[in-house]
Chain A
Amino acid sequence: MRHVIEPEDLTLDEILELVDMGLSMYEDPKPYSKVCDGKILASLFFEPSTRTKFSFDSAMMRLGGNVIGFSDADTTSAKKGESLADTIRVMGFYSDIVVMRHPKEGAPKLAAEYSSVPIINGGDGGHQHPTQTLTDLITIKRFKGTVEGHNVAFCGDLKYGRTVHSLIRTLARFGSKKFYLISPDELKLPSALKRQLTEKYGVELVEVNYTEDVIDDIDVFYMTRIQKERFFNEADYLKLKNSFKLTREKLKNAKRDMIVMHPLPRVNEIDYDVDEDPRAVYFEQSEMGVYVRMALITKLLEVGPYARS
């Protein structure tokens, strides 16, 4: 039994294999429509989610499986003070695989210690979000042809943005040697992660204050939202929420084949008229999340293309 708590739980070969399997499922989903017949996904969302929860639900249903779960922890025994470990032990009797999102960082790792079924981390606080990374990589592969070998810029909330933390580390594992980081001082990439990237992977981190300074050198522009729920007080959030905004004007000097990604939801960090630009692929990115999650579910359940012979 395997869990996916952080991207490092998958080897680079496994990630590439999941990306390719997800693309196959996207191109022709029919052969996979019954491979999870009789299987149940428990979808435990202790924190709100739209895309991650519903893309997992959709992925399981497209594989012919069923879904149980909640998206509001107040309706569960967690509200009564039940330990996560106890909740997870019981969910092992009710389901074959669990996806969970939790506001506390490290919660999925605790869950994995007590679970009798595979656990997938659907996001823990500002820490990790491995299936968003898979979603990001399948999108890059679909639009750029390969997962690796691109100049990537991250913009917005790099401090609390778990999607950034997971993706940048994974791209570094794939051999990326330089990233552009565009964020206000208060929301820079955590120093521990920066140190890991530079010392362990030999990555160069180029921090800039203006998107315009580097836009012409970027292949993949990864925008993130300034996340209100990660701030302890409203005043700090209001001060920073409009820090960086992507407009058509800023895209003027960008490469014609650059892609603009965003894990969504967006609030106001990308102008709506950017949606019309062919380089904006964030809605397709959400779409691809379903297929790469289908691939991951089949792998962890060892069914369909991953069935043991």
Chain B
Amino acid sequence: MLEVKGIENGIVIDHMKAGNGLKIFNLLFSNIEHPVVLLMNVKSDQLGKKDIIKVENTFDVDMSLLGLVDQSITVNTIKNNMLVDKRKVEIPKTLTGGIKCQNPRCITHSDDYAIPTFTLLKSNGKLEYECNYCEEITVYKL
């Protein structure tokens, strides 16, 4: 069985549904300088198969974006080889960036000052976000 050693300091993004690991890696960690490990299709009692990302020497992570992609994620913070914090992500009620407004006429597509910001309208089945500028609804799709 493939084994990857634990990290001394950093975060472990755990319980990602299999397949979401690469999406999250590309979104958040593709340009990071610190060591990162992406484990895919790891056996899981809870999910059957899961993905895991371990990032060394980094403690900040965009919980909103994680919650948007996969609501089953937990983020473990490790300091001096000890688990010091365990956080579960939630579906973000507001979003700043992360997704683009689907309305081609929205000001967020043409003015750098207009950072796309959204408010969650519905989260049953699909995630629907209302643009705070043009009010158009964008259904989240990665």
The residues of A with any CB-CB pair to B shorter than 8 Å are 83-85, 102-107, 109-110, 113-114, 124-127, 192
Contact = CB atoms under 8 A, between A and B. Distances in A.
21 contacts: A84-B107, A84-B111, A85-B113, A104-B110, A105-B106, A105-B107, A105-B134, A106-B134, A107-B107, A107-B111, A107-B133, A109-B107, A109-B132, A109-B133, A110-B113, A113-B113, A114-B113, A125-B134, A126-B105, A192-B136, A192-B137
A103 B112 CA distance: 16
A124 B60 CA distance: 38
A127 B134 contact: yes
Contact of A105 (B112, B113, B136): B136
Contacts of B8: none
Given A106-B106, A109-B133, 15 more contacts: A84-B111, A85-B113, A103-B105, A104-B105, A104-B109, A105-B133, A106-B108, A106-B132, A109-B132, A110-B133, A114-B113, A126-B105, A127-B105, A127-B134, A192-B135
**Binding site of B, secondary structure by majority: helix, strand, loop or mixed?**
loop
Interface of chain A, main secondary structure: mixed
Contacts of B137: 192
Nearest to B128: A192
A85 B111 contact: yes
Q: Which 6 A-B pairs have the closest CB atoms?
A: A106-B133, A105-B134, A85-B113, A106-B134, A104-B107, A106-B107
A83 B105 contact: no
A110 B112 CA distance: 11
Nearest to A128: B135
A192 B113 CA distance: 26
Contacts of A113: 113
A110 B114 contact: yes
B103 interface: yes
A104 B106 contact: yes
A127 B111 CA distance: 17
A118 B22 CA distance: 47
Nearest to A6: B135
Contacts of B134: 105-106, 124-125, 127
B12 interface: no
A66 B124 CA distance: 53
Contacts of A85: 111, 113
B131 interface: yes
B68 to A, nearest CB: 20
Nearest to A114: B113
Nearest to A126: B105
Contacts of B135: 105-106, 127, 192
Contacts of B130: 192
Indicate the member of A103, A106, A125, A127 with the most B CB atoms within 10 Å: A106
A104 B136 CA distance: 13
Contacts of A127: 105, 134-135
Given A105-B134, A109-B132, A110-B133, A83 B111 contact: yes
Given A83-B113, A84-B113, A85-B113, A110 B107 contact: yes
A104 B132 contact: no
